Amino acid sequence: MRFQLMAVGLACATLLAGCGGGGGGDSTSGGMQQSVSFPFIGGPMVGIPPNTTTITLAATASGGGDVTYTSNTPDTCTVNGATLTLVKAGECSVNANQAGGNGFAPASARQLFVIPKNPQAVTKFQNPGWQPVGGTPVQLSATFESGLPVTFSSKTPAVCSVSGETMTPLADGICTVTATQAGTDIYAVGTADKNIPIGTEKPAKLNFLTGYKDSRGDNDGFATTEGGRLGHPGNNMWWCLNCEEAVSNSGNTFTHTASWDTPPHVGDWNYNAALFTLFGPNINGADLWADSNTFGYRAGINAFTLPTATPKGVQIEIEGALNFNLAQNPEWFGSSDNTFNVELFLGHFNPSQKDSEGHACNVTLKTTVKPTTAAATDYNLNLRNQFAISESCGLSGLDIWTELQAYPVVEIKFSAAKSNSDVANSAGKYVNQFTLTGPIYFQ
């Protein structure tokens, strides 16, 4: 259709009399025949208010006289002088006229083309995440660029039904809900799908990391201790003289060990040394430190929010849980408090709130885990039910699921809730040791 209209427009531009235009000269017109060349003017989309789309018309007459323009379809396009304004999507017809004179008869040419609508993208359509079979109907909400009402439908009626703005889970499987905005004079019809796991159905694994290269890097991104960039397998670090990190030859296991010769106490320099941070895919040291000589300070972390060709971290959509395998040393497990914290740092920052070093604050989710054994254990932490917002950066009204779907997870931090000061090992040292094995992923 578009090609045919272009062809019509070009054909009309070369005719001397026709396409609804004026005629060429003959023996009764009192002048020589002339032609009007009217280049094709179609293509641009209608403007989105408050912006308008205009086209400068540039027809020429072979007789050399001035050309004037008129719109045959003023509801869709208007003419002022040589400026054509696109009012709304639809068919636009414009005449280029030469009144004649200086021995030439009048002549005209017509352009006929379609003004296309703007494609309409969805601006918000949150996936409600996993739902149980026969569970409570889920409220649906979506917004498109037009801001006008949206309708919902189910592409998988055996798995889920949709009525108005609610979805009811019916059977195990992936429920596909479609949001549709019918379009306007400016916007084309907009559609968007969300795939919602129901019952036993699980989404694919979303890897945060798949393994470890060494104590400073993982296979997918960047791993380091909280203190900076000096961690090497088997070596003490300047910020923590009693810490060691090691990676197995296979790259499948990462171990962080903090130890004390005497029971650690609050206020000791290394009391909070039993912690480490893992950084997500495509994040490297340049994102974290503005000055490589200033160890121990995250100065470039707000670079995570800058547009990049390769996204940084991982973006949650329907993955409902954080999964990892972790073991503790027996002495820590047998101490008075063997719980550990897991924190998720998001790429959501409040530029107006900074710490004493001038670093941007990023929104953080946190949970505290009570282990049932010191041995290597698979943990499955529900993102919505087990985590809470521990750092809002001064922002109000934050919702965990909305945050996770809007901003990537860029860091995961593991830490002992309380350093082991109760149970010494056979060497008389008080030790907190984490051992991670295998991938860390969301599912």
**Which residue in 117, 122, 119, 118 sits closest to 144, CA to CA?**
122
Model confidence at 176: pLDDT above 50: yes
Q: Name the amino acid, one letter, at 123.
A: T
Q: Are residues 186 and 218 in the same domain?
A: no
Q: Identify whether residues 219 and 348 lie together within a single domain.
A: yes
Q: Alpha helices of 323-389 — where are they, by DSSP H?
A: 330-333, 383-386
Most confident residue range from 27-41, 164-178, 302-316, 403-417: 164-178
d(Cα 123, Cα 192) in Å, to the nearest integer?
Answer: 10
Are 53 and 130 members of one domain? no
Specify the pLDDT at position 293.
33
| Max CA distance (Å), the chain | 119
Does the pLDDT of residue 424 top 80, yes or no?
A: yes
- Lowest-confidence region among 154-158, 196-200, 284-288, 412-416: 284-288
Per-residue model confidence (pLDDT) at position 298: 40
Supply the mean pLDDT for the chain: 82
Among the ranges given (71-80, 212-221, 291-300, 394-403), the one the predictor scored with the smallest mean pLDDT: 291-300
Is 313 found in the same domain as 331? yes
Q: Which one has a higher pLDDT value, 84 or 295?
A: 84
Give pLDDT, residue 358.
Answer: 63
Does residue 323 share a domain with residue 298? Answer: yes
Q: Could you tell me whether strands 166-169 and 173-181 are parallel, antiparallel, or unpaired per DSSP bridges?
A: unpaired
Picking from 93, 115, 137, the residue at the C-terminal end of a domain is 115
Contact 111, 12 (CB under 8 A): yes
Q: How many CA atoms lie within 13 A of 25 on its CB side?
A: 20
**296 CB contacts (<8 Å, ≥6 apart)?**
227, 228, 239
Q: Would you state the structure tokens that stand for residue 302, as one six-digit string?
A: 């707000």
Instruction: Report yes or no: 57 and 96 within 8 Å, Cβ to Cβ.
Output: yes
Instruction: Show Cβ contacts of residue 2 under 8 Å, excluding neighbours closer than 6 positions.
Output: 114
Place of tokens 């009144």: 99
Q: State how far the Cα of 129 lies from the Cα of 401, in Å rounded to an integer.
A: 9
In the listed set 179, 198, 217, which residue is the last one of a domain according to the structure? 198
Same domain as 246, residue 336: yes
From residue 285, give the alpha-carbon distance in Å to each of 90, 125, 280, 299, 421: 53, 34, 12, 10, 33
DSSP calls for 150-186? -EEEES-TTTEEEETTEEEE-SSEEEEEEEEE---SS
For the cut 80, the answer to whether the pLDDT of residue 170 exceeds it is yes
> Computed over its alpha carbons, how large is the radius of gyration of the chain?
33
Averaged pLDDT for residues 300-319: 63
> What is the distance between the alpha carbons of residues 105 and 25, in angstroms, rounded to a whole number?
4
Both 241 and 226 in a single domain?
A: yes
Q: Which domain holds residue 86?
A: 2-115
Mean pLDDT of 41-48: 92
What is the pLDDT confidence band of residue 270, given thresholds at 50, 70 and 90? Answer: confident
CB 258 within 8 A of CB 270: yes
Q: Is the pLDDT of residue 282 over 90?
A: no
Lowest mean pLDDT among 217-221, 236-240, 277-281, 434-438: 217-221
SS3 237: strand
Q: Residues 219-245: what's their mean pLDDT?
A: 45
Asked whether residue 118 carries a pLDDT value surpassing 90, the answer given is yes
Range in 72-81, 188-197, 231-240 the model is least confident about: 231-240
Average pLDDT over residues 86-100: 96
For residues 378 and 403, membership in a common domain is answered with yes
Is the pLDDT at 361 greater than 50? The verdict is: yes
Closest CA relative to residue 227, chosen from 243, 213, 214: 243
292 — pLDDT class (breaks 50, 70, 90): very low
Contact 91, 14 (CB under 8 A): no
Whether the CA torsion 229, 234, 239, 240 is positive or negative: it is positive
Summarised one tens digit per residue, pLDDT across range 139-149 is 999 999 999 99
Structure token digits, residue 355? 């710490």
Considering its fold, how many domains does the chain have in total? 3
Classify 436 as helix, strand or coil.
Answer: strand
* CA proximity to 344, closest of 367, 377, 324: 367
Name residue, tokens 């994040």. 283
Same domain? For 328 and 301 the reply is yes
Q: Are residues 257 and 153 in the same domain?
A: no
**3-state class percentages of the chain: helix first, strand second, coil last, to nearest 5:** 10, 40, 50
Between 77 and 8, residue with greater pLDDT: 77
Q: Is the pLDDT of residue 287 over 70?
A: no
CA neighbor of 39 nearest in space, from 88, 109, 116: 109
Q: How far apart are CA 384 and CA 112, in angstroms?
A: 56
Residue 297 has pLDDT above 60, yes or no: no
pTM (2 decimals)? 0.67
Tell me the C-alpha distance between 194 and 197, whole Å: 10
Domain boundary (198, 225, 254) is at 198
Q: Name the strand (E) or helix (H) holding 143.
A: strand 142-144
Helix, strand, or coil (residue 303)? helix
CATH, residue 47? 2.60.40
The pLDDT value given to residue 234: 32
Higher pLDDT: 188 or 249? It is 188
DSSP state of 350: E
The answer to whether the CB of 274 falls within 8 A of the CB of 432 is yes
What mean pLDDT comes out for the span 303-307? 44
**Residue 305 pLDDT more than 70?**
no
1-37 confidence digits (pLDDT tens): 332 333 333 334 333 333 433 334 343 456 899 999 9
Q: What is the pLDDT of residues 371-422, one digit of tens each?
A: 999 999 999 999 999 999 999 989 999 999 999 988 899 889 999 999 999 9
- In the chain, what percentage of residues exceed pLDDT 90? 60
Model pLDDT, residue 209:
87
Predicted pLDDT at 104: 93
Mean pLDDT of 227-245: 48
Q: Please report the DSSP string for 187-224 in residue order.
A: B--EEEEEEEEETT--PPPEEEES-EEETTEESSSEEE
Do 104 and 160 lie in one domain? The reply is no
Residues 156 and 246 in one domain: no
Write out the two tokens for 119: 């494609």
Looking at residue 272, its pLDDT comes to 82
Average pLDDT value for residue range 147-161: 97
The pLDDT assigned to 25 comes to 39
